[in-house]
Amino acid sequence: MNSHHRRALRSVAGIALALGVIAALTACGSSGQGANAPSKGKSSSSRLPTLRWYGLAGTASWANTLDPSQVTDSISYNVMNMINGGLVKLLPSGNPGPDLAQSWTVSPNRRVYTFTLRPHLRFSNGDRLTAQDVAWSIERTLSPGTHSPVALSYLGHIEGANAFTTGKAKTLAGIKVPNSRTIRISLDSPIAFFLKTLTYPTADVLDPRVMRGKKPQVYLTNTCSANVGAGPFAVVCRNKSSSLSSFYPSGTTPTMTLVPNRYYYGPKPHIRVVMPVIPDTQTNYKDFQSGGVDATGIPTADIAAMRSHPGFYQYPTSVVDYITPNEKMAPFNNVHCRLALAYAINRNAIDNHILQKTETPIYDVLPRGLLGYYNGADNPHYNLAKARAELRLCPGGLHSLTIPYQHTSVDIDNEYGAIQHMWSALGIHVTLQPLTFNGWLNIVTKSLQQTHTAISENLWIEDYPDPYDYMTLLLRAGQNYDIGGFNNPTYNKLVDRAAIEPNPAIRARLYMKAQHIAVGQGAWIPVGNQTGFALVNPKVHGFVGSEAFGILVPKNNDWSNISIH
């Protein structure tokens, strides 16, 4: 299933890509110069071994965005991770580690973070990177003119962020730059997970000399030369035009080519990366079988046969599969209509017979292993008697409904076909609406009320491993990702208190109580927590499965660890 990373909306929402699509798709290729190489001259990077990677898998067109201020999905997130840098970065363990900042200190009241940048930092075009550029980039994301759908979700605890974003303040009060290598960020509350929020692309550092005055979203997404970052890779551009032909020749498969960033502060990658668009998991898998790619996610039907295959990976993920009803419109403004759906889903049957144990049934909001996870024994489970009882209390019953879902694999087609059949057996009539990944994002990144959607399939990969990323961002009233319009005062108070609670045990209890409210009222209809599966050619070395990322990533999130031989 595709990811909705917020990192995602990772929507990821986020996001998962049919789990197959989430897995890193890599391929050993020739070392010659590719179609996306610069039109003049040859560089040493053209002699590097080529990795054909999954970065644009899950779409037949292009990344939804290459602008860090706009990212709401896993495809865009993963590409930016390779090109851009931030103060800190997420490690496969789920912990934040140093990136452009070599160190930081935290004040005794846990509200002021002081970062010291590494010396002699540069962007991929050679421009110096300073603390002033970090501040400018954060302010750009939060600026009213940027219209970021996610700025406050990830940077909203910076002091004065809300006033700045809404235009009530001309400056961002919580950002100070004492000198070119020091930036001080003050928060409005002592949240324990602030460093993790800075690993999301909204805090990526852009070159103001390139970006100042340029239109958000369109310029970076369509203009290759605009993508000047401080990450391990630089984008290979064909020309400087503001069109997709600057990335790849018109009339050919949309493709992005990356080479090592010569100015990168750390150990440089030893590979060249080519990322063509790949529409779905089945296409990826067929390409792997024919030798066209060196790694792939595995369609559910093929997992058992591939377990003994060299290069087989299995790893836990934070991907949760769930359904969001629209509480602002009939019929799902009625709790009984929502619970009729929740009680009618046989999650064990989906896991055992449809998804072949690639997804574990869950009955709460949080994935296993995350602080606050619990078994949800007091939440709705499959129970036909209760489903019928709730349906009788649903005014007019449930008829002529449509549920959009991301049509990115046969697995997700089969899963939602099974759910449709389970509902139909009770007289609940729902039509499935398969959408492309970007088409689905247009539904799940907006209020369901705005798109006149009654109910939607949903997936989420954690942006960072903290329950706030699920409990507040997805269900707290007033958050952009609360697309179903859930608004329960007790729930809101519980998650607000948990966000600033320093004691992990107390935080966990608060989140358990909050989950019982959301799931018990059918605001969140959980289905499962996915497991990651992938196949990698033995010639490709250095990848690890990561629960935090939901995909294969380089060991220590360091691309110099990837080799092909």
In a domain, 203, yes or no: no
**Dihedral sign computed on CA atoms, order 365, 369, 371, 373:** positive
Distance CA 321, CA 15 (A): 10
What percentage of the chain exceeds 90 in pLDDT? 79
Distance CA 472, CA 476 (A): 5
pLDDT at 43: 53
pLDDT tens digit sequence for 503-512: 999 999 999 9
Task: Give CA torsion, residues 374, 378, 382, 385, to 10 deg.
Answer: 180
Average pLDDT of the residues in 545-557 = 90
pLDDT at 44: 65
In a domain, 124, yes or no: no
In a domain, 342, yes or no: yes
Longest alpha-carbon distance in the chain: 72
Question: Is the per-residue pLDDT at 31 higher than 60?
Answer: no
Q: How many domains does the chain have?
A: 1
Of 337 and 285, more confident? 337
pLDDT confidence band for 14 (50 / 70 / 90): very low
Lowest mean pLDDT among 19-33, 103-117, 429-443, 467-481: 19-33
Average pLDDT of the residues in 391-399 = 97
What percentage of the chain exceeds 70 in pLDDT? 92
Query: In CATH, what number is assigned to the domain containing residue 481?
Result: 3.10.105.10
Question: Is the per-residue pLDDT at 561 higher than 90?
Answer: yes
Question: Is the per-residue pLDDT at 429 higher than 50?
Answer: yes
pLDDT at 42: 46
Q: What is the pTM of this model?
A: 0.86
pLDDT at 39: 35
In a domain, 101, yes or no: no
In a domain, 262, yes or no: no
In a domain, 353, yes or no: yes
- How many Å separate Cα 379 from the centre of its chain? 27
Could you tell me the two tokens for 310?
Answer: 């060299």
User: Could you list the residue range(s) of the whole structural domain that residue 513 is in?
Assistant: 316-530
Distance CA 109, CA 86 (A): 24
In a domain, 492, yes or no: yes
pLDDT at 281: 81
Average pLDDT of the residues in 327-355 = 96
Indicate the average pLDDT of the chain.
90
Highest mean pLDDT of the ranges 72-76, 275-279, 520-524: 520-524
Question: What phi and psi values does residue 83 have, to the nearest 5 degrees?
Answer: -95, -40
Question: Is the per-residue pLDDT at 339 higher than 50?
Answer: yes
CA distances from 287 to 26, 221, 294 (A): 10, 27, 9
Give the contacts of 559 (CB within 8 A, at least 6 positions apart).
Answer: 82, 232, 233, 269, 271
Residue of 414, 457, 451 lying closest to 433 (CA atoms): 457
Lowest mean pLDDT among 279-283, 473-477, 505-509: 279-283
Give the contacts of 264 (CB within 8 A, at least 6 positions apart).
Answer: 124, 230, 231, 232
Residue of 253, 246, 204 lying closest to 221 (CA atoms): 246
pLDDT confidence band for 10 (50 / 70 / 90): very low
In a domain, 522, yes or no: yes
Distance CA 425, CA 545 (A): 39
What residue type is assigned to position 77 of the chain? Y
Distance CA 177, CA 183 (A): 5
